[in-house]
Amino acid sequence: MKTWTLAALLLAGVAATVAPPVLAQPAPPAARPWMNAQVDPDQRTKLLLSQMTFDEKVALLHGAMAMPFGPFKLPSGAIGSAGFIPGNARLGIPALQESDASLGVTNPMMVRGPGDMSTALPSSLALAATFDPAIAYEGGRVVGSEARAKTINVQLAGGVDLARDPRNGRNFEYAGEDPLLAGLIAGESIRGIQSTGVISTAKHYALNDQEHNRNTVDSIIGEAAARESDLLAFQIAIERGQPGSIMCSYNLVNGVYACQHDWLINRVLKGDWGYKGFVMSDWGAVHSLDALMGGLDQQSGEQLDAKVWFDEPLKDAVKAGKIPAARVDDAAGRVLRAMFAAGLFDRTDKPADIDFAAHADVAQHEAEDGIVLLQNRNAILPLAASAKRIVVIGGHADAGVPSGTGSSQVTNPYRKEAMLPIASVPIGGEGMMAAFSNVVFHPSAPLTALRSHLKGAQVSFDTGLYPDSAAAAARNADVAIVFVYQPSGEGDDVPSIDLPMGQNALVEAVAAANPNTIVVVESGNPVALPWADKVGAIVEAWYGGARGGEAIARVLTGEVNPSGRLPMTWPMSEKQLPRPDIPGWAAGPTDRVPVDYNIEGSDVGYRWYARKRETPRYWFGHGLSYTSFAYDKLVVRGGKALEAEVTVTNTGDKAGKDVVQLYLTGRPGGAVRRLVAFQKVSLAPGESRRVRLAGDLRLVADFDAARRRWVIPAGTFSLAIGKDAGSVSLTAQTTLAAATMKP
């Protein structure tokens, strides 16, 4: 069989067809005792498995892409989305209708027709920048309820790979560089999705930290380093969110493909963490039947693999005694258990209406809380009422806000309420990857929003295509606001942290013409800011989602006091990174590319800078406000747990939100830097609050691979409150008892 790449199939698309939704048929519990919702999921699974034939069990273990492409038709019964596992009418098992992803319910190739709309949330990196798990939960509820309204019952969400490289094309789908922050944000987002009765994944398990050569990249890392970083992020996300499924990744880990990695899946995930759900493959990530014994339960997007291993080859292997039938029972049981636990068997609802207005409010709130004020010289922001002539320049700010590309992209063809065409900018030309890598601009134009918020000012627009004319426009204005953007997405990394498309020259020209220059960056990653000293303010607005433009306008005008904090450290240049060059940049598409993550080990991001005594441009946790905050009276309690209390005061004259960040700075054996707890608090001018923080002990421990335990050495631990990971201001010490903890 031909091996299809995802890009090729998206291009090879044929006319979309829309099939009617398929709902599970309720049946009398007497005939089908597993249909009794009062019985617990484990018991229901046992009851159902006992009635299934071998072939019926195997049918649950593989499924196709749910899109028509090339020779493949839309599978019968699929409503059209990323993936589909047929149901079983005899036993009342509903089909799995699987859709991407964390930022909204996608409609790939418009497979469900052009009228199928979804709310586009800001990027997950923007969400992580809120430092607010409650916002993650709310966003999850939006995605889950829209999925449910469309009769999709599995959402391929919960991206939690750590941002080890600020050029990773998919960092926008993940939640930053810190295991605690990423784990909590992804976990709450998963919990929100599942609260609507939809299964969510956590993905891509594991160490899928580079997109370039993602199918052949080999993440080389020691056990302790992996457990203390990327795996800890997954562990926290799974504890919080209890996802029904885990999606394993394309890459290899220490020489073994992640989707057939006995140690990662059987030993760590299902063994040490006691995970009861099922493991599904990424689309095209299965290389042999060995994956089944390696722990993979379900082969997804099976047309993309060289063989549908989990169908006939699996049946033959069981018949030949090469694979125990019990393993098939285990895999099928895991799929069923996740379905029972999420309530998929108990649904009788029909497609519902979506409250787009309410969901857009959630998207806007998330965008507003995630915007990070990076620099604000002479308090140039918020925009002063005296600014009467304002020029907005560049970044398609007249059209909307950009989004990350790839499978997670919500590509609504028009805005329902206004029927506006959506702007779509191809990156990398119109060749192979074009369909997969168009930068879609969600039609929430910052220019329109600024005009409506600044009634007393004249707000003009310059495309920014020609630096000279942009500079001329800036010269005649009181304030110039330059929008710069960085396209990024699935399938490849950005080759450098520099802004593309001559945008640095644009900012330089505008800043030279007008000292009152404000730069709004819309990016999927940190970018170099070589002109930072020449401009007044810099605002990071990420990929802002359905109401991104409105959120930006409200922050610039001061209606919203910015409270986002960086979930990733911003380097001065690539020279500061553990790997200044992207590994394998020149390698061929099938070349094996080892990436040595032992260089930084578990010291990802700010921990690396602290260890190397390097000063980045901005540390993890950095973010300014229109007010100011002060901390005092830090008390830390040790013993068998770790707790801290600190008083935070809003010392300015505006209401605002602060993120109180508690870092470990020293422990027996030397200095370290690790975020151990954080909390976002909202304070009126002059208000003080005593904030209690409970530290996760795994964050102050080391993982001892030989003993397979977390180990806390007895002794003195130093903790500090920091405005960011680099500027810790208030320190206290405590002693902890020696302890070990299960992995």
Residues lying near ligand BGC in the complex (CB under 6 A) are found at 6, 82, 100-101, 156, 203, 282-283, 407
Contacts of 716 (CB under 8 A, 6+ apart): 666, 667, 668, 733, 734, 735
Query: Based on CB atoms, which residue is closest to ligand BGC, 258 or 480?
Result: 258
Euclidean distance between CA atoms 678 and 452, whole angstroms: 36
Tokens describing residue 196:
């609507």
Nearer to ligand BGC, 364 or 405 (CB): 405
**Which is nearer to ligand BGC, 152 or 720 (by Cβ)?**
152
Measure the CA angle with vertex 222, ends 221 and 223; round to 5°.
120
CA–CA distance, 333 with 64 (Å, rounded to integer): 20
3-state SS class at 220 = strand
**Residue 97 beta carbon to ligand BGC: minimum distance, rounded to whole angstroms:** 13
Helices (H), 395-466: 446-453
Least distance (Å) from ligand BGC to the CB of residue 65?
8
**Closest CB to ligand BGC among residues 101, 528:** 101
Asked if residues 18 and 66 have their Cβ atoms less than 8 Å apart, the reply is: no
Decide whether 277 or 722 has the Cβ nearer to ligand BGC. Answer: 277
Q: How far is the CB of 100 from ligand BGC (least distance, A)?
A: 5
| 103/479 with CB nearer ligand BGC | 103
Residue 670: alpha-carbon gap to chain centroid: 33
| Amino acid (1-letter code) at residue 166 | P
CA 228 – CA 601 distance, rounded (Å): 9
CB atoms within 10 A of CB 326: 10
Q: 346: how many CB neighbours lie within 10 A of its CB?
A: 17
What number of residues does the chain have?
743
In this structure, the number of other CB atoms found within 10 A of the CB of residue 714 comes to 10
**Minimum CB distance to ligand BGC, residue 59 (Å):** 20
Task: Give whole-number Cα distances, 424 to 101, 143, 491, in Å.
Answer: 20, 23, 18
* Closest distance of CB 124 from ligand BGC, Å: 12
Closer of 150 and 674 to ligand BGC (Cβ): 150
Which CB atom, from 101 or from 691, has the smaller least distance to ligand BGC? Answer: 101
- Looking at the Cβ atoms of 118 and 407, the one nearer to ligand BGC is 407
CA pair distance 556, 550, nearest whole angstrom:
10
Edge-to-edge strand ranges of the sheet holding 401-402:
401-402, 438-442, 423-426
Query: In this structure, are residues 625 and 563 in contact, taking their beta carbons and an 8 Å threshold?
Result: yes
- Residue 680 beta carbon to ligand BGC: minimum distance, rounded to whole angstroms: 29
Shortest distance, position 101 Cβ to ligand BGC, whole Å: 6
To ligand BGC, the closest distance from the beta carbon of 4 in angstroms equals 12
Residue where the block lists tokens 């300015």 = 652
Q: Which amino acid is residue 338, in one-letter code? A: A
Q: Assess contact for 186 and 140: CB atoms under 8 A.
A: no
Shortest CA distance to 715 belongs to which of 737, 742, 694? 737
Q: How far is the CB of 173 from ligand BGC (least distance, A)?
A: 8
The least CB distance from residue 407 to ligand BGC, in Å, is 4
Nearer to ligand BGC by Cβ, of 85 and 477: the residue is: 85
DSSP H/E element including 314: helix 312-319
Least distance in Å: CB of 477 to ligand BGC?
43
Q: Strand order in 217-220's β-sheet? A: 256-257, 252-253, 217-220, 593-596
Question: Given the complex with ligand BGC, which of 16 and 528 has the nearer CB atom?
Answer: 16
Nearest-approach distance from CB 489 to ligand BGC, in angstroms: 11
Nearer to ligand BGC, 100 or 522 (CB): 100
8 Å CB contact between 721 and 634: yes
